[in-house]
Structure 1
Amino acid sequence: MPLSPHRRRFARIAAVLILTAALVGGAVSATAHTSKHQSLRGLKILLTNDDSMQDARPNQSDGRGLYEIRKALCAVGADVVVIAPWSVQSGRGTAVTNSGTMQVGTKELGAKYVNDCKDAPSKGLVFGLCVDIAPCSATSPGATPSDTVKFATRGGLHDLANWEGEPDLVVSGSNSGNNVANSVTDSGTVGATIAAIEDDIPAVAFSSASNAAGVFPDSNYAATAEWGARFLIGLRSEGLLKQSKFALNVNYPNIDDDKKAKKAVWASISDGMFAFHYYTRQPDGSYAVAIKLCSGLPTCEVTRPDADKVWVIDKNHITVVPINWDRTYAHSVDGKRELAKVKSFVEKKAPRP
């Protein structure tokens, strides 16, 4: 018997209610199933960089990115402790200090960042490591990024933060400027991650682009940090945040100047030089050292189609590059299975910017 209009309307409402209940129930079930993977809760992270922890320069190139990363990691539940160079150590690569005395310094955090980690077990402690026989001062040279990792994991974290054992992860950055091409070799930001994986500790480096004026705006640092936290959560959910066969070098493009970041790509270190050092003789016989973007020289030309320099600088994509400690040419790669899984994650599941 055909249903009356009233009954047909009632049937439609009932069907909608049943479907809604099923969808809500499924969503609740899915949430219950994945909730433990939606944060970095329980993860102990050592945070360092090569820009220092000072955050005092007008162009924000001396540690502002570190505090944005600290904020983002604490916001998703990580227990973060910062042990970074006391003064800027950009370009120090994997250099280490072999003798002398190191001191641990602190600074008062500005109102913008002071409460970011108040609910974390270690409260987001921030320390700077200098090489000096006296307490760290304005003229104290900083320990290198590699120094900070070695110091932290060989007693420093125990003494300063009461941590037992090694951190679960070393995060380095966010650097002021992209680390691509030959800058990867120079980079202390990347160097810190090499020190970590040499001790079998997983590590990820993050770098943020400047804007067209050569300034490092909060927007670029904040975007790198927010995406970076989601990226780490994704890796953790896939069981990929425990491997230490290789580190990951992540570069985030400029989103200032009305630009937008594009999806992450799996890239390689560019064969075209990015940073070009030059030396100018002075009247007194000394040489002034400077650095500029490489252009107009054969050594600047890029031939690799997956070059990080092209993808992040020219095309505005986020780039992810695996970095290994082993410099043996043509040596068989250890961790091929992990490499394939991380590459697949980046290409298919990495968060959108």
Structure 2
Amino acid sequence: MPRSRLVALAIAAIATLVAGLLVSTAGASSAKPPANVAGLKIMLTNDDSVQGAKADGSDGAGLYELRKALCAAGADVIVVGPWGQQSGQGGRITTDRATGLTVSPVTPPEAYAGDCADAESGGHVYGVCNSNTPCDADSKSASPADTVRIGTQNFLPATVWPEGPDLVLAGINWGQNVGTVVSHSGTTNAAVTAHELGFPAIALSEEFDLIPCAVQGVNCPTYAPGAAFTVKLIGKLRAAKLLKPSTLLNVNFPFIADGEKAGKPALNVLGNGDMVEIAWTGAATVETGGTYMLGFPTDRKSTNKNADTEALRANRISIVAMDGDWSITSPSKQLTAIVKALG
């Protein structure tokens, strides 16, 4: 069956599943597989780091909240994440032949220390650095894509899971990853890398009110509700037999301000706009060039139908089914004719 047909079938199945998340499961047939995560071998990564020390939650709190929820629901979770902050790194991989990637054990923050003590594989947490010695405070971090490659292809098969994980999760990220920013996101590209290597994968991010969160430490992601939803989503995917290599999802949780209400989950497409569009400011001349400094992000609404950016603005949990394939299956007649004429 052509790849495009397989992807279409997978997206249709996921659309049905998302619709099912909106209704009660009471009266469901007992013959169906259980909608839970018990026993699933899950590798957890992110692009915020495995440190989990900052009060605003920007250096891994989302990862630890997700780990807590998954282990409480019976999943077997191991973290293999970037040693340090790697936001905006896209799918970058390390190609330095002189300096390798070292996987070092990490002690979880005190608040999360015992969350996975009963996990079958021990609930270990590891950080990955670009170093030939154990990671320390001065170590350069591996990228999110590095952690997925080294985790699924080398470290986990050699230590605990010969076949690798059943599922790779990236997140929950500090800040939304929707619209045009997705191709630059370390979170989403960690999931894309896992998909490329043949594993079902989900990227998870939570919207923030950027300036109040970054400057004042208010209106930041809380993570726990998103983590609880993720457990439910994975259970539903498992029951529908959708934890397979063709499954690649990008999930974003809305920021719900005081007085606002959360909307229903929605199956969307990537928007053609952005909610955190990078802007640079500076001055330059033809003769000398110039220096540009990172400015305050701008906001550009999407104009395409059913965009994830607009769903998030409406306080809905946005779920985008992706295929990780940049190619066009039906190129234009003009391009086809040009290529043919070049022969």
Q: In the TM superposition, what are the counterparts of 1:81-160 in structure 2 within 5 Å?
A: 81-99=78-96, 100-159=99-158
Q: Is the 8 A contact 1:276 1:294 kept in 2?
A: yes
Equivalent-residue separation in structure 1 for 2:289 and 2:61 (angstroms): 37
What is the TM-score with the length of structure 2 in the denominator? 0.79
Partner of 1:223: 225
Instruction: Return 318-327 or 272-281, whichever deviates more.
Output: 272-281
Partner of 2:11: none
Deviations 1:148-184 (A, max 9, x none): 111011121134x422112110011000001001111
Q: Which of 295, 298, 304 matches 1:294?
A: 298
Q: Does 1:61 align with 2:58?
A: yes
Q: In the TM superposition, what are the counterparts of 1:154-193 in structure 2 within 5 Å?
A: 154-159=153-158, 161-193=159-191
SS state at 1:262 partner:
coil
CA RMSD of aligned residues (A): 2.7
Equivalent-residue separation in structure 1 for 2:26 and 2:280 (angstroms): 63
Q: Is the 8 A contact 1:246 1:325 kept in 2?
A: no
The amino acid across from 2:87 in the alignment is: S
The amino acid across from 1:141 in the alignment is: K
SS state at 1:95 partner:
coil
What is the TM-score with the length of structure 1 in the denominator? 0.77
Quote the offset at 1:210 in angstroms: 1.7
Partner of 1:201: 199
Shift in alpha-carbon separation, 1:28–1:200, aligned structure 2, 3 A: closer
Of structures 1 and 2, the one with the larger relative CO (CA 8 A, separation 6+) is 2
User: Percent identity between the aligned chains?
Assistant: 37
Deviations 1:202-245 (A, max 9, x none): 00111011247224778730011001100110111111122x22
Q: Is the 8 A contact 1:279 1:287 kept in 2?
A: no
**Structure 2 residue runs without a partner (length 5+):** 1-24, 332-343
Q: Is the 8 A contact 2:167 2:199 kept in 1?
A: yes
The amino acid across from 2:41 in the alignment is: K
Larger radius of gyration: 1
The amino acid across from 1:119 in the alignment is: D
Equivalent-residue separation in structure 1 for 2:123 and 2:289 (angstroms): 47
Partner of 1:335: none
Equivalent-residue separation in structure 1 for 2:142 and 2:240 (angstroms): 35
Q: Is the 8 A contact 2:49 2:60 kept in 1?
A: yes
Partner of 1:46: 43
Quote the offset at 1:280 in angstroms: 3.6
Equivalent-residue separation in structure 2 for 1:171 and 1:63 (angstroms): 13
Equivalent-residue separation in structure 1 for 2:193 and 2:72 (angstroms): 26
Equivalent-residue separation in structure 2 for 1:137 and 1:129 (angstroms): 10
SS state at 1:292 partner:
coil
Shift in alpha-carbon separation, 1:183–1:260, aligned structure 2, 3 A: same
Equivalent-residue separation in structure 2 for 1:125 and 1:272 (angstroms): 38
Shift in alpha-carbon separation, 1:135–1:41, aligned structure 2, 3 A: same
**Structure 1 residue runs without a partner (length 5+):** 1-26, 333-353
Quote the offset at 1:316 in angstroms: 0.4
SS state at 1:274 partner:
strand
The amino acid across from 1:63 in the alignment is: G
Deviations 1:261-311 (A, max 9, x none): 21110111111133332334489987354253324xxxx342113111111
Equivalent-residue separation in structure 1 for 2:185 and 2:61 (angstroms): 17
Shift in alpha-carbon separation, 1:218–1:293, aligned structure 2, 3 A: closer
Quote the offset at 1:85 in angstroms: 0.3
Deviations 1:328-350 (A, max 9, x none): 13459xxxxxxxxxxxxxxxxxx
SS state at 1:89 partner:
coil
SS state at 1:105 partner:
strand
Aligned residue-pair number: 298
SS state at 2:274 partner:
coil
Quote the offset at 1:37 in angstroms: 1.1
Partner of 2:250: 249
Equivalent-residue separation in structure 1 for 2:209 and 2:200 (angstroms): 30
SS state at 1:230 partner:
helix
Equivalent-residue separation in structure 2 for 1:240 and 1:117 (angstroms): 25
Equivalent-residue separation in structure 1 for 2:68 and 2:325 (angstroms): 33
The amino acid across from 1:207 in the alignment is: S
Shift in alpha-carbon separation, 1:282–1:141, aligned structure 2, 3 A: farther
Partner of 1:79: 76
Q: Is the 8 A contact 2:192 2:324 kept in 1?
A: yes
